[in-house]
Amino acid sequence: MSNITSNREVVAAIKRIETPHLSFEYQRHSQWVSRTVRRANGTPFITRINLSKEVSRHQDPRSMFEQALLKTGKGCWHDSLRGEVRVADLYSGCGGLSLGAREACTALGRQFKSVLAVDEDKDSLEVYRRNFAPQVVHSDDIWKLLTGEIGEHLHSEEKALAKQIGTIDLLLAGPPCQGHSDLNNHTRRNDKRNHLYERVARFAEVAGPAWIIIENVPTVVHGKEKSLERTTRRLNQLGYHVSNEIVNLSLLGVPQKRKRHVVVASLVNQISINNVIELYTVKERSLKWAIGDLEYEKPIGIFRTPSALHKNNLRRIEYLMETDTYDLPNSLRPICHQNNHSYLSMYGRLHYDKPAQTITSGFSSPGQGRYIHPTRWRTLIPHEAARLQFFPDSFDFSSVTMRGSLANMIGNAVPMLLSLVLCLALLT
């Protein structure tokens, strides 16, 4: 809620928006925006960002701060960080969940310490390593690390892992979701990868983290293997307070239509995911809010270069631009999409004034969804997709050399605003 003061000069210079623990302030004359978190002991911790020309001043201070964080990510100022939060990230990908957790730690004046990162994709794990410098990296099958079934006595390998990593405060996990995804028409709801979800409960048995955050696609609740139910039941048995909900990430300011299923488990405190989301809900943010400044970005390297398109797709883009329309008529679609179909967004053009559709690894192909740029004769470039997934420009993707690998890690990531708000609630 907005603070009210009778001093009109102060109101003209400073805008403020507050929640019980979090407030943002824009100082016009010095051109910085700050975030203040009031910690459990009542002391405030302030983070400031100097505003660049790409950040709009015609928005609320929280949106201003988060746009500055997204478009620069550098130039932040804060007092020294004291104490550390020791974090393990299972199925880490390139680090979306860790990114939000790290930002929450910074907001609370604490150090984020990456202790363990686990992922079979070596390219993603290298990006994670460059950005978070984990102490221990495991790039093989997770069953070689967590060898026992839920409820069994710890195996020798697991005892060695527990000794190697020591205390874990926060466990983050994004188990592979392709087996549950509605885009998977082959093994959906009955996929061996879905059992990987239960490795999270096994890690809780091994390391006993104080807090756990698990994310997945909403359809995880329909898995035939009942991995979600078995995992949450075991966490309850271990003494965790467990909450699980489907979250619409656009409510948190993610500029795309994206829903995720989230489980939060805590040995320390009990939170309601819905209450956290309600507390941090903001006005919907548009595509232009996130990527408007990248419209004419120079095509340098795979991160900033659009994919080459087939001549048929170029003709489809030409039609949309010349007619100023956003949906392709059936006559211009492939034959398999011409009659009774539900693929309206395929070969579609994005709206600048609306959120993007869900970003997947197919964001560079018109046939994979509504991924044609609003004004340019191309699909989204990886830089734009990363922004829409809330990776700040300071995030280092430079080790990736293959376009497909880059698209996969960006599309499979979790926008950091999710773990940011959950960790603010858990760690405060």
Give the domain extent around 98: 81-284+415-427
Per-residue pLDDT, averaged over 11-34, amounts to 75
Reading phi first (left if > 0) and then psi (alpha if -120 to 50, else beta), residue 293 is in alpha
pLDDT digits (tens, 9 = 90+) for 302-327: 999 999 999 999 999 999 999 999 99
Residue 367 DSSP class: G
- Taking the C-alpha atoms of residue 182 and residue 137, their distance in angstroms, rounded to an integer, is 31
pLDDT surpassing 80 at residue 169: yes
Q: How confident is the model at residue 76 (pLDDT cuts 50, 70, 90)?
A: confident
* pLDDT over 80 (residue 16): no
Which class for 364: exposed (0-12), middle (13-18), buried (19 or more C-beta within 10 A)? buried
Q: Is 22 helix (H, G, I), strand (E, B) or coil?
A: strand
When the pLDDT of each residue in the chain is averaged and rounded to a whole number, the result is 91
The Cα–Cα gap between 362 and 219 comes to: 20
Establish if 272 belongs to a structural domain: yes
User: CA-to-CA distance for 387 and 384, rounded, in angstroms?
Assistant: 5
Q: Tell me the β-bridge partners of 50.
A: 32
Please tell me the predicted confidence (pLDDT) of residue 74.
67
Looking at the domain assignment, is residue 57 inside a domain? yes
pLDDT at 311: 96
Residue-level length of the chain: 428
Do 160 and 105 share a structural domain? yes
Instruction: Name the pLDDT band for 195 (thresholds 50, 70, 90).
Output: confident
Of 188 and 267, more confident = 267
Q: Is the pLDDT of residue 216 over 90?
A: yes
CB-CB contact of 146 with 158 (8 Å):
yes
pLDDT for res 295: 96
Is 13 a domain residue? yes
Shared domain for 92 and 48, answered yes or no, is no
Tell whether the model's pLDDT for residue 188 goes beyond 90. no
pLDDT of residue 73: 61
Residues 323 and 386 in one domain: yes
User: What is the predicted pLDDT for the residue at 336?
Assistant: 76
Q: Are residues 219 and 322 in the same domain?
A: no
pLDDT tens-digit series, residues 328-379: 998 899 877 777 666 788 999 999 999 999 999 999 999 999 999 999 999 9
Looking up residue 406, the CATH number of its domain turns out to be: 3.90.120.10
pLDDT at residue 2 greater than cutoff 50? no
Total number of domains constituting the chain = 3
Share of the chain above pLDDT 70, in %: 89
- pTM to 2 decimals? 0.91
Domain final residue, candidates 77, 102, 122: 77
Residues 384 and 395 in one domain: yes
Q: Among 7-16, 69-78, 296-305, which is the least confidently predicted range?
A: 7-16
User: Per the domain annotation, does 3 fall within a domain?
Assistant: no
- Pair 138, 181 in one domain: yes
**Angle value at C-alpha 306, between 304 and 307, nearest 5 degrees:** 135
| 95 within 8 A of 128, measured Cβ to Cβ | yes
From 107-121, 184-198, 247-261, 268-282, the region with the lowest mean pLDDT: 184-198
Residue 242 — pLDDT band, cuts 50, 70, 90? very high
Q: What's the pLDDT tens digit per position in 40-61?
A: 888 999 999 999 999 999 999 9
Q: How far apart are CA 88 and CA 113, in angstroms?
A: 9
Has residue 14 got a pLDDT over 90? no
- pLDDT 10s digits, 109-163: 999 999 999 999 999 999 999 999 999 999 999 999 999 999 999 999 999 999 9
Position 20 scores a pLDDT of 52
Q: Residue 83 corresponds to which tokens in the numbers above? A: 């104490």
Q: Could you tell me if residue 1 is inside a domain?
A: no
Q: Are 211 and 88 within 8 A, CB to CB?
A: no
Does 302 or 4 have the greater pLDDT score?
302
CA distances from 316 to 6, 348, 378 (A): 57, 9, 11
Verify that 123 and 266 share a domain, yes or no: yes
Q: Which of 94, 105, 177, 423 is catalytic?
A: 177
Residues 12-39, mean pLDDT to the nearest whole number? 79
399, 127 contact by CB (below 8 A) = yes
Same domain, 169 and 217: yes
CB-CB contact of 109 with 84 (8 Å) = no
Give the pLDDT confidence of 379-428 residue by residue, as tens digits: 999 999 999 999 999 999 999 999 999 999 999 999 999 999 999 999 98
Helix (H) or strand (E) holding 427: helix 417-427
Per the CB < 8 A criterion, the answer to whether 245 and 228 are in contact is no
Same domain, yes or no: 50 and 170:
no
Phi, psi of 343 (to 5 degrees): -105, 40
Number of other residues whose CB lies within 10 A of the CB of residue 114: 25
Residue 2 lies in a domain: no
Residue 275 token pair? 């209450």
3-state DSSP call for residue 333?
A: coil
Q: Do 279 and 180 belong to one domain?
A: yes
- Do residues 60 and 85 both lie within one domain? no
The answer to whether residues 127 and 154 touch, using CB atoms and an 8 Å cutoff, is no
pLDDT of residue 239 exceeding 50: yes
Q: Is pLDDT at 79 greater than 70 in this prediction?
A: yes
Q: What is the pLDDT of residue 189?
A: 45
User: What does the pLDDT read at residue 224?
Assistant: 83
- Same domain? 34 vs 17: yes
Residue 229, exposed/middle/buried by CB under 10 A (0-12, 13-18, 19+)? exposed
For 88, the enclosing helix (H) or strand (E) is strand 84-90
Active site residue 177: yes
